[in-house]
Each structure stands twice: as C-alpha cells, then as structure tokens.
Amino acid sequence: MSRFTFSRAWLWPVLLMAGAVQAQQPPETHPSSEQRNVVLSYDRGTLPGDQVLWAERTVLGYSTDTNLRYGQIHLTCGSSSDSGKGRCPTEDVESDSTVRGQISLRFTERRSGLRTEVELTGWFLRVALTPRCEATYWNQKERPFWTSYGTRCGGDLPAGTGASLLMPQRELEKLVAGRWDATLELFLRADPAGPVLAIYTFTFDLTITDRDAMSIYFPEFDQVAPRVGLNIDYNPIGQPSIGGRANLDMCLYDGLGSQSEYFEVTLRDDRRSAPGRPAGMFSVWHHTGGTEDRHRLDYEVVMDHNGSRLPLHNDRVEILRGIDTARLRLVLLPGMTHPVYCVPTPLSLITPRVPASTKAEGYYQGQLQVEFTLPTAGP
C-alpha cells in the first residue's frame, strides 16, 4: 500500500507542471515578413498526409500594448478571383464566424503546363491579454484569416493572434505525377485601412511520381486488348498482289510526369519459326496452322515518335529518347479520376505487297506484344 501512495505523490506535481506550461503567456511578438520554401517528394501510392505550413498556434503578433491591435490582425489574399498566388477575400470581412477558411491556390505542372487548384485550410486563434477569461490565454474559437473580429475579455480586446495553415492530404490527391510549382502570398494588417504589416510567401516545389500507374494506353480500345486488322487488299492490275497498312494509336504513360530520360520499348510476335523472313519483321499465320511460306504474311512496324518515324524490329529493345521534350497528349487513363499527359507513340503496321499467288487464301492471325520499361534511375 505504501508503494501505491508513493506513486501518487510523485505523479501529482508533474501534472501541475504540465498545466502551468499550457498557461504560459506568449512572448512579445511583432509581425515580420517571411518566405518559406515547401519542397516535397512522394509517390501517389503512399501519400504523405496533411502538410502543415504553420503549426497550430503559430504566433503572428502578440503584445501587452493593445494599441498595436495585434488581437485584430487579419490575413488577406491579393485576389478574390485569381488563384495564381492564392484566392480568398482581399479585405477584412469583420465576421464573427467560427469556421476555418479555405484558400484556393493554383499549382502548375512544370513539364506539361497542366493546372490544378488545391484548397489550403487556415484559421486564427486569438490570444488574451491576461488569463482572467482564458486560463491558457488562448481563445478556443477558430476564425478564418480574413476577419479582425475577436472576443473581448471584460473590457479588454485580445492582445495577439496565432495562426494555423495546412494543405490536407485529400487536396494532394488532386495532383498527378509531375513537378508542380505554386506561390502563395498572404498580407497581414491590423487596421483594414492601415498599412501591410507583413507579407507571408510560400513557394511550393512538389515532385510527384505514380509508378504503379505506368501503362501502355490504346485510346481506341480503352480497357480491352486491341484487335487490329492489317487491312489487306487485293490489287488485280498487272500481276495480282496483296498488301496493306493499318494504324494503331498508342500512348505511353511513365507515371513520372513524362520526365524520364528515355523509354525502352520492345515489340515481338508469337515467336514462331519463320525461315526466310526478312530480319526484324513480324508475321501472322494462316488459320489452318500451316508452316510453309504461303501460310505466312510478313509485316513491319513503324512508330511515330515526336515527329520522327522509327522502324521497330521484332524482339529488339528500342530506346526512345527526348522524352522530356516530346509532344504530350492529355488523356484519362482507365481507373484514374484525374487526367494525365502521356507520350503519343502511334504505330503503323505495314504489309509489303507480294504476288497474290504466293499466299494461301483465307484468314490470317497472330499476336503482337508491346513491352514498355523505364530506366532504373529517375525522378
């Protein structure tokens, strides 16, 4: 029993000390302009949670000299319509509202120019002159940045103001893979008609990857495997011949905002033995399963990459360079809720003309596999 009594006697002063720390008066603080750089890298598969820009109760101004009016300071944006440097009220709304405020901020993806608005959340807590009305000095009513309103304690106005500002994780989900930039500016005043006491600037540099979403996208076929005809035609003029050309739209998404140093692409058919076939070509086979030359049609594949035609060879890795300057296409990939930019790489399947008499009549079929890989090093 004595052991239990000793434990209580030891814990009680610790609890009193903790309470005393909470009631400590904020230090004398005068508004001062600040610039903060927010640099963040993450993959969309593991979002980093809410990003705290100002920790709760960050004191922007506090003084026992109430003539300074630090208990009425308020923050405003430079525009109420343009989110380029933050969109919110541009003047004191003098509201006694007890809700948090939302600031719309436009982020721009550096590579593609894609723009997305993100909502930041901010609020004030007023700080009392004495602990007479607020035992901890802090009023617990959260107020939006753009109001000068503060609850009086007896006849005393608040003596200071603390701010909180964060970028919620749910807003980070709006940003797809890429390198995103934004700048937020907030202006601090104590008197709506008075001078700006401080300017707070936040510059954002976000590098976002989405490696699990890397994909080969065929716009015409959406979520199904493409089934492409070679468009073989019969020409009876002179020596009758057959040949054709088909186009397959394709776009490559790297999950890195198209910032990879290069792509690796490999095309291969079903690898059946094809003696005498020209090097690098692909084949389809007569539906009867014959293995002779007359039961096989050979075709070549040419890719259009950034305005240049690139012949592709069967079962050989082709390196696509200049990804960071290649043309881009905005698409909504299957399973994604936000559009992304991919690199267009349309394919042409060309069957050279051959004498019709050298091929068996009937239906031909085969497989063409496309493999897309990235360098191990990347953003």
pLDDT score, position 21: 43
pLDDT score, position 135: 86
Q: Where in the chain is the domain with CATH 2.60.40.2040?
A: 212-373
Q: Residues with Cβ < 8 Å from 11, sequence gap 6 or more?
A: none
Q: Where in the chain is the domain with CATH 2.60.40.2520?
A: 26-209
- Residue 239 CB-density burial (10 A; 0-12 exposed, 13-18 middle, 19+ buried): exposed
Residue located via tokens 């596999």: 369
* Nearest to 344, CA basis, from 204, 247, 268, 227: 247
Per-residue pLDDT reduced to its tens digit, 20-40: 444 688 999 999 999 999 999
pLDDT score, position 76: 97
Q: What CATH fold (topology level) applies to the domain 212-373?
A: Immunoglobulin-like (2.60.40)
Q: Are strands 198-209 and 34-43 parallel, antiparallel or unpaired?
A: parallel
Per-residue pLDDT reduced to its tens digit, 63-74: 999 899 999 999
CA 376 – CA 323 distance, rounded (Å): 15
Residue located via tokens 């389809």: 284
Per-residue pLDDT reduced to its tens digit, 191-208: 988 899 999 999 999 999
Per-residue pLDDT reduced to its tens digit, 248-288: 999 999 999 998 889 999 999 988 889 889 999 999 999 99
Q: Are 348 and 304 in contact (CB under 8 A)?
A: yes
* Nearest to 144, CA basis, from 86, 92, 78: 92
3-state SS assignment for residue 268: strand
Dig out the tokens for 176 from the structure: 């797809």
CA 359 – CA 131 distance, rounded (Å): 97
Residue ranges of the chain whose pLDDT lies below 50: 1-22, 379
At 55, the amino acid letter reads A
Give CATH superfamily name and number for 26-209: CFA/I fimbrial subunit E, adhesin domain (2.60.40.2520)
pLDDT score, position 198: 98
Residue located via tokens 């960071």: 324
For 28, 35, 69, 74, the CA distances from 125, given in Å and listed in that order, are 16, 22, 15, 11
